[in-house]
Amino acid sequence: MSFRNPNSFTRFADLVTSGAKEPARNNLYSVDISMPAMLFATGKNPDYKEHFESINYFADNVTLPARRIKTESVKDIGMPRDFAYGQQKQEVRFSFIMTKDMYHRAFFETWMNMTTNDAENRVTFYDEYTANIQILKWELGSNVVLQKEGKKGNVKYRARLNQSTAVWQMYGAYPFDISAMTLNNGPADLLKIDVDFKYERFRFDTVSVGSFKKNAKDKIIGNLNKFDQLIKKSQVDAQFYGI
């Protein structure tokens, strides 16, 4: 009979250095909150780049959606047993660092006021005030390498790109609560705002986790001009590689 140590530190170290089993970091993520259809009814074309950058770069804290099985208890003979009868979801919260132009406050105020205005007793249609939210989890050390070579074939620049490993997609989402903000005469600090969202459902999936394994071959991107052309033609998702 063979025996093994179930708590071997050597085996733990091997798993950590294997790539795919390396512990994930909680500070590598991106957030994309799409605009609801009703915002286009104002007659003004929104600035997509400003919106994406304001949401993504200033999302200081993100609460990932939770999933819970709802149960009921029944007793026939002996000990009671619980049976599942549905699922229960939890609201998600985003904490944003406020900018001087108050973009986040203005954006979510407009969204909520157009959903249901406090000056009248009407609510916008569901499909018009809901939108989708996507949260991407990123990790270091993918097998995608950006490399630039000189005329003599020597490597002048080499960088290993980040890669997304998981995605949370929330459908039919809308903000229902904006937190209060406190101003004071004490030491200066960052002004933040918390926004809570309700959503219809969410899906979670992993993305290209095999690219972090030790035996994964590097994918060299050498021609930067050609890569830029592929991005413009939408043949390569630049956001997927963190560019």
* Predicted local distance difference test score (pLDDT) of residue 243: 47
Query: Using one digit for the tens of pLDDT, what is the confidence trace for 188-222?
Result: 899 999 999 999 999 999 877 666 666 666 666 66
Identify whether the C-beta of residue 212 lies closer than 8 Å to the C-beta of residue 142.
yes
Identify whether the C-beta of residue 91 lies closer than 8 Å to the C-beta of residue 98.
no
* Predicted local distance difference test score (pLDDT) of residue 199: 94
Tokens, residue 214:
């030790």
Predicted structure pTM score: 0.76
Query: Using one digit for the tens of pLDDT, what is the confidence trace for 99-117?
Result: 999 999 999 999 999 999 8
> What backbone phi and psi angles, to 5 degrees, belong to 220?
-85, 125
* Predicted local distance difference test score (pLDDT) of residue 225: 53
> What backbone phi and psi angles, to 5 degrees, belong to 68?
-140, 140
Residue with the two structure tokens 């001087």: 100
pLDDT tens sequence for the chain (243 residues): 455 667 777 777 777 766 667 788 888 899 999 999 888 877 667 788 899 999 999 999 999 988 899 999 998 888 888 989 998 888 899 999 999 999 999 999 999 999 998 888 889 999 999 999 999 998 876 666 666 766 666 666 667 677 788 899 999 999 999 999 989 898 989 999 999 999 999 999 987 766 666 666 666 666 555 555 555 554 444 444 444
* Predicted local distance difference test score (pLDDT) of residue 206: 86
Cα distance between residue 27 and residue 146, in whole Å: 23
Instruction: Catalogue the E-assigned strands of 49-143.
Output: 59-62, 67-74, 81-89, 92-97, 131-139
The CATH fold of domain 10-139+164-209: Pnp Oxidase; Chain A (2.30.110)
Read off the DSSP letter of residue 239.
G
* Predicted local distance difference test score (pLDDT) of residue 222: 64
Residue 182, Cα to own-chain centre: how many angstroms?
Answer: 27
